[in-house]
Structure 1
Amino acid sequence: MHPLPDTLRPTAERLFGDRLELAERFAVMLAEQGPERGLIGPREVERLWERHLMNCALMVDGIDALDHPVSTLADVGSGAGLPGVVIAIARPQLQVTLIETMQRRTTWLEEVDAELGLGLEVVRARAEELHGQRSFEVVTARAVAALDKLARWTLPLATDGGSLLAMKGSSAADEVEKAQKVLARLGGVDPTISRYGEGEVEVPTTVVQVRRRAKATRKGDARG
C-alpha cells in the first residue's frame, strides 16, 4: 500500500471530495501494476501522490477557472491515466475521453474504467487522426511534447472558444515564446501560465492555457 500522505490529505479532500476513495483505489492499482506494465518507473511508486496524483488533481483548479462551459474533455497521450483518469475521478460531471496510441495502455485504461466505474471513453488513436471528427471543450496533456508540437496535435481537437490545458514544468515560458507562430496559425490565442497548489504542495502544478479563438482556421492543423 502507498497511502495518501497526511500532509496532502486536506488538498486531496478539497479536490476529490467524497470520491477520494476512488483516487486511493487508483493509486493502489498504479502502485501494484504500473511498474510491471511499463506505465510508471519503479522509483515513482514511492512518490505516486506527490509527483503524479496530486500534480494531476490540481489540474481541476485550472478547469474550474475557465470562463467558458466545460462538459467534454479529452486527455491526449493518457498513458497511465495521468491526468485524464484523475480528472475524471475529481470531476464526475465531465464526459472524459482518453486518447492513447499504444494498445497496452488503452487496455490498462479500459481496465481502470471498469474497476472504478468512471464512465470513460477510451480511444486508441493518434490525436491528429481525430482532427475534423471530434471536438472537446477542453483538451489536456501532460509530458507529451514541447508546446509547439503539442499544439499541432491538440488545438484542432478543441471546440471554437475551447481551451488547451497543458501541464508543463519550468520551461513553460520558453515553450510559449517558441510556440507563438504555431499557436497563431492554429487559432490559438491568449496563452497564459498559471500555477496551482501554491502553499498546498511542495511543487505546484504549472499549466499553460491556450484558448482557441471562436472562428479558428484549420489550415495546417496536422502539420507544421
Structure 2
Amino acid sequence: MTTLPEELAPLATRLFGDRLPLAERFTGLLAEHGQERGLIGPREVDRLWERHVLNCALMVDSIDPSVCTLADVGSGAGLPGVIIAIARPQLHVTLVETMQRRCAWLDEVNAELGLDYEVVRARAEELHGERTFDAVTARAVAALDKLAKWTLPLVADGGELLAMKGSSAAQEIEKAQPVLRRLGGVDPRIEQHGHGEVEVPTTVVRVRKQTPARKGERRGR
C-alpha cells in the first residue's frame, strides 16, 4: 500500500477528516491494481497522493455546499469521482464511464469501501434529456469547448460545471465562449486550490448553467 507522505498528512486530514482511512484504502487499491488494469501509468504509483488523490480532493473546495447531486463524467480510475464520494459523503454521486472494465473497477471499489455511489456505463451524450445534476465534474477528459458540449446539458439550471484543468485554462475558456453561450454556460472563471500546501495547485474552471430564455420571454431575478 502506498503510504501517505508525512508532509502531506495535514492536508489530507483537512480534506478528508475522519474519512481519511477510506482515502488511504482507495489509494492502496489503486497502487496495487491500477497499473495492471490500465488505470494508471507505471510512473504514477509513487506519486499517487500528490498528483492524483490530493489533487482531486482539493477540487472539492469548489463544490458549493448546497449541491446535492453530482455527476463525474469520464471517471476512469475514479479520479475525481471516488475521491469526491469519500470527501463529501452527503452527496449523491454518479460516475459516468464508457468502458466496461473501468465500470467494473468502480463497482469493485464501491463494494470494497461501501461508498454507495452510482456507476452508469454510458457516454455523457446518451444521458442528455434524461438526467440532470446540481454539479458535473470532469478531469482530463477533453478541451473545454468539447467538454461543454458533453457536460453542460447534464447540468441543472443554476448548477455548475467544474472542470479540472492545467495551465491552458484561460485559453480554453476563450476558445469555448461561443459553445458556452449557446449552451447556457455563463460566468466562466478559474479557481486554484492548494497554494502553499502542494507543489502544483489544483486548477478548476467553474461554469454556471443558466438556461437561455426563450424568444420574448423575460427572465426574472
TM-score normalized by structure 1?
A: 0.94
Query: Is 1:74 matched with 2:71?
Result: yes
Residue 5 of structure 1: aligned partner: 5
1:166-186 per-position Cα deviation (integer Å, ceiling 9, x unaligned): 000000000000000000000
Query: Is 1:90 matched with 2:87?
Result: yes
Summarize the alignment of residues 21-32 of structure 1 with structure 2, pairs less than 5 Å apart: 21-32=21-32
**3-state secondary structure, aligned to 2:66:** coil
1:149-193 per-position Cα deviation (integer Å, ceiling 9, x unaligned): 000000000000000000000000000000000000000000000
Residue 20 of structure 2: aligned partner: 20
Query: Is 1:143 matched with 2:140?
Result: yes
1:124 maps to which of 121, 124, 127: 121
Query: Is 1:33 matched with 2:30?
Result: no
Mapped to 1, the partners of 2:143 and 2:164 lie a distance apart of 11
Count of aligned pairs: 214
| Aligned partner letter, 1:150 | L
Residue 46 of structure 1: aligned partner: 46
Mapped to 2, the partners of 1:195 and 1:69 lie a distance apart of 20
Mapped to 1, the partners of 2:213 and 2:52 lie a distance apart of 35
1:155 maps to which of 152, 155, 158: 152
**3-state secondary structure, aligned to 2:188:** strand
Unmatched tracts of structure 2, length 5 or more: 215-221
Question: Could you tell me whether the CA contact under 8 Å between 1:71 and 1:94 is conserved in 2?
Answer: yes
| Aligned partner letter, 2:166 | G
Mapped to 1, the partners of 2:6 and 2:169 lie a distance apart of 30
Shift of 1:217: 7.1
**3-state secondary structure, aligned to 1:209:** strand
| Aligned partner letter, 2:147 | L
Shift of 1:216: 3.7
| Aligned partner letter, 1:20 | L
| Aligned partner letter, 1:158 | V
Shift of 1:2: 1.1
**3-state secondary structure, aligned to 2:70:** strand
Question: Could you tell me whether the CA contact under 8 Å between 1:186 and 1:217 is conserved in 2?
Answer: no
Mapped to 2, the partners of 1:42 and 1:120 lie a distance apart of 28
Question: Could you tell me whether the CA contact under 8 Å between 1:56 and 1:86 is conserved in 2?
Answer: yes
1:70-116 per-position Cα deviation (integer Å, ceiling 9, x unaligned): 00000000000000000000000000000000000000000000000
TM-score normalized by structure 2?
A: 0.95
Q: 1:14 to 1:137 in 2, by over 3 A?
A: same
1:173-214 per-position Cα deviation (integer Å, ceiling 9, x unaligned): 00000000000000000000000011111110000000001x
Mapped to 2, the partners of 1:183 and 1:217 lie a distance apart of 15
Question: Could you tell me whether the CA contact under 8 Å between 1:140 and 1:165 is conserved in 2?
Answer: yes
| Aligned partner letter, 1:139 | V
Unmatched tracts of structure 1, length 5 or more: 219-224
Larger radius of gyration: 2
Residue 217 of structure 2: aligned partner: none
Summarize the alignment of residues 179-194 of structure 1 with structure 2, pairs less than 5 Å apart: 179-194=176-191
Mapped to 1, the partners of 2:93 and 2:37 lie a distance apart of 23
**3-state secondary structure, aligned to 1:41:** coil
Percent identity of equivalent pairs: 75
| Aligned partner letter, 1:208 | V
| Aligned partner letter, 1:124 | R
